[in-house]
């Protein structure tokens, strides 16, 4: 591994490398082979080796190998294991009944006992239950008969399960027989008055079999409830001709009603829900979660999202990328602000160029992404109507000293660890919770640690801003509690809670079997 793929030896620890190895084994394992091998193992092997391969079957004799351990598989191929089985007298009666093809299938299955295969059945003893609630004050509703859908994603990306049920007279719902594997990510969805609602990610923690949650819906309004960008991240890199900009914006709806927007003239009934101004001269605009002319519209230099916005904090994330021209050896991002931004973090590839930043920008610790250093700047309380300007000069010299091509999807590379929703993010891909979309298979410890480090840096920067009088106490406490809760959840997922987080406050209550991962954070 170290000789064949040296970059991995630097970037991944042993656990991550073996995790990727297991994933590669699964890529070559078809469902038919898995199912056939599982049946053969059940009929011919489990009586000695045990259901899970631990050597604890009812007829186990002597020193049985633990086939559920990676140690049994790290230095041997399936074919070599098959040959060993053929040569052992204790397996003579079994081998006699199996042809080579059957033996290959059962060995392929037995290897999966050492890791959680994506081919494994989804059945289990997990339960997800909850209540549909009206969150709008003064409004009452009967949800009996409302359809609730449960989506299960295996490895965070493959949609492996879709179930529906209807709400009972007491406004409750329940799903049973669910897999509690850590590979399974669930979320619930419903629609009320034409507005889609979904829960955050639901994951069974080790030993947990019951998740109880609430699926909240709201009445609608045409009046702007004061939507804002709670947190926004901008990313910049450049090649010889263009500046590539990626934006990840978390949108807050502080009201208790779903905002359906205002009618747009001559747009076939479409409504403007979120208006996000773009810099002049934008080229090659790319969006995640929809297309221009459908959910998204471009009107007078503003990107308009027409999807109704439920109440909540960070309830929607906009992910976009575009390019700006490089002229006269410089690139300028002059970004008008059409929604108030509470906290803006800007990452700029450090290729040796000169960077002019706004006076109120604070420079943070540089970040390394795929071997490229990125300078980081933060701005707090950016008001609607302002223009945030970053100017990059001396680009020709910087490009000559550091020849490279700007990545075709900058935001997806730089965004790793920056939009993690309760720690569930793909390494190398950025997908946010929106209808029927969830993060992916590359949810690794490395990505979790990167996000946790970034969260702790944000906490430190928030502390500094508060001490400097740049943030009022109410906002400071609210933001800090949110960041600390996410840091604690990430640390729990990593399984290495340090004392400074474990003993911290009301953001880290002990786990309870009947609570969701979000409630435990």
Tell me the CA distances in angstroms from 368 to 81, 347, 378, 450, one per residue in order. 42, 10, 17, 10
Distance CA 508, CA 521 (A): 6
What per-residue confidence (pLDDT) applies to 339?
97
The 330-336 sheet, strands edge to edge = 330-336, 387-393, 354-356
Residues forming beta bridges with residue 336, ordered by sequence position = 387
Unique residue bearing structure tokens 């449960």: 150
Enclosing H/E stretch for 221: strand 220-221
The answer to whether the beta carbons of residues 201 and 517 sit under 8 Å apart is yes
Torsion of CA 506, 508, 513, 514, to 10 degrees: 50
Distance CA 511, CA 314 (A): 24
Kindly state the DSSP code that residue 202 receives in the 8-state scheme: B
Q: CB 89: neighbour CB atoms within 10 A? A: 7
Backbone angles phi, psi at 311, to 5 degrees: -70, 150
Cα angle vertex 442, ends 521, 500, to 5°? 30
What per-residue confidence (pLDDT) applies to 239?
79
Unique residue bearing structure tokens 């702007």: 224
Enclosing H/E stretch for 21: helix 14-27
Cα angle vertex 7, ends 4, 12, to 5°? 105
Which tokens is 438 given?
């969830």
φ/ψ region of 482 (left if φ > 0, alpha if ψ in -120 to 50, else beta) reads alpha
Which tokens is 234 given?
């901008």
The 172-178 sheet, strands edge to edge = 172-178, 123-134, 210-217
Distance CA 34, CA 26 (A): 10
Nearest residue to 350 via CA among 480, 226, 235: 235
Residues forming beta bridges with residue 127, ordered by sequence position = 210
Nearest residue to 83 via CA among 110, 104, 57, 64: 104
Tell me the CA distances in angstroms from 50 to 53, 65, 115, 179, 392, one per residue in order. 5, 11, 16, 21, 64
What per-residue confidence (pLDDT) applies to 405?
52
Kindly state the DSSP code that residue 89 receives in the 8-state scheme: G
Nearest residue to 286 via CA among 232, 247, 337: 247
Which tokens is 356 given?
């002019």
- CA torsion sign for 273, 276, 280, 281 is negative
Torsion of CA 452, 458, 463, 468, to 10 degrees: 170
Enclosing H/E stretch for 391: strand 387-393
- For 261-320, what is the HEC assignment? CEECCCCCCCEECEEEECCCCCEEEEECCCCECCCEEEECCEEEECCCECCEEEEEEEEE
The answer to whether the beta carbons of residues 202 and 128 sit under 8 Å apart is yes
Distance CA 290, CA 298 (A): 13
Pairing of strands 367-369, 362-363: unpaired
pLDDT in tens, the chain (521 residues): 444 444 434 445 555 566 666 666 777 788 889 889 999 999 999 999 999 889 999 998 888 889 988 788 777 888 888 888 888 888 888 888 889 899 999 999 998 888 777 777 777 899 999 999 999 999 999 999 999 999 998 865 678 889 999 999 999 999 999 998 877 889 999 999 999 999 988 888 878 899 999 999 999 999 999 999 999 999 998 877 889 899 999 999 999 999 999 999 888 889 999 999 999 999 999 888 778 888 999 999 999 999 999 999 889 989 898 999 999 889 999 999 999 999 999 999 888 889 999 999 999 888 776 667 889 999 999 999 999 999 999 887 766 666 655 444 444 444 333 333 223 322 222 222 222 223 333 434 555 666 667 677 677 767 766 776 766 777 777 677 666 766 665 665 555 443 333 333 333 333 333 433 333 33
């Amino acid at each position: 591994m170290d000789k064949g793929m040296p970059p991995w030896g630097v970037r991944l620890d042993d656990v991550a490398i073996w995790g990727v190895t297991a994933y590669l084994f699964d890529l070559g394992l078809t469902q038919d082979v898995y199912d056939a091998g599982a049946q053969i193992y059940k009929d011919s092997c489990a009586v000695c080796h045990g259901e899970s391969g631990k050597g604890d079957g009812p007829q186990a004799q002597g020193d049985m190998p633990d086939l559920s351990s990676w140690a049994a598989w790290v230095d041997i191929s399936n074919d070599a294991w098959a040959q060993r089985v053929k040569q052992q007298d204790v397996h003579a009666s079994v081998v006699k009944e199996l042809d080579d093809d059957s033996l290959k299938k059962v060995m392929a299955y037995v290897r999966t006992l050492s890791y959680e295969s994506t081919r494994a059945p989804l059945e289990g003893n997990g339960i997800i239950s909850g209540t549909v609630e009206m969150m709008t004050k003064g409004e009452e509703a009967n949800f009996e008969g409302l359809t609730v859908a449960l989506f299960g994603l295996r490895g965070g990306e493959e949609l492996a399960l879709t179930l529906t049920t209807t709400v009972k007279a007491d406004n409750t719902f329940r799903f049973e027989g669910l897999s509690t594997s850590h590979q399974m990510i669930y979320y619930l969805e419903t629609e009320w008055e034409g507005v889609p609602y979904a829960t955050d990610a639901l994951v069974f923690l080790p030993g947990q079999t019951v998740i109880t949650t609430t699926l909240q819906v709201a009445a609608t309004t045409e009046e702007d409830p004061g939507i804002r960008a709670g947190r926004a991240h901008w990313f910049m890199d450049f090649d010889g001709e263009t500046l590539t900009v990626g934006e990840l914006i978390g949108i807050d709806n502080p009201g208790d009603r779903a905002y359906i927007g205002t009618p747009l003239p001559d747009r076939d009934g479409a409504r403007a829900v979120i208006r996000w101004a773009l810099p002049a001269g934008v080229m090659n605009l790319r969006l995640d979660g929809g297309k221009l002319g459908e959910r998204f519209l471009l009107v007078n230099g503003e990107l308009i999202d027409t999807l109704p916005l439920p109440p909540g904090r960070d309830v929607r994330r906009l992910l976009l990328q575009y390019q700006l021209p490089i002229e006269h050896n410089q690139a300028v991002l002059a970004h008008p602000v059409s929604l108030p931004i509470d906290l803006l973090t800007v990452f700029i590839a450090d290729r040796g160029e000169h960077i002019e930043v706004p006076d109120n920008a604070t420079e943070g610790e540089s970040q390394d992404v795929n071997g490229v250093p990125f300078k980081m700047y933060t701005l707090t309380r950016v008001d609607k109507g302002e223009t945030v300007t970053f100017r990059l000069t001396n680009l020709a010299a910087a490009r000559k000293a550091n020849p490279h091509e700007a990545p075709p999807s900058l935001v997806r590379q730089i965004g790793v660890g920056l939009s993690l929703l309760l720690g569930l993010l793909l390494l190398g891909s950025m997908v946010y919770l929106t209808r029927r979309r969830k993060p992916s298979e590359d949810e690794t410890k490395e990505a979790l640690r990167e996000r946790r480090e970034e969260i702790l840096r944000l906490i430190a920067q928030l502390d500094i801003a508060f001490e400097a009088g740049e943030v009022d106490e109410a906002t400071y406490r609210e933001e800090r509690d949110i960041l600390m809760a996410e840091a604690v959840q990430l640390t729990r997922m990593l399984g290495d809670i340090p004392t400074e987080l474990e003993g911290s406050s009301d953001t880290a209550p002990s786990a309870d079997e009947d609570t969701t991962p979000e409630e435990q954070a």
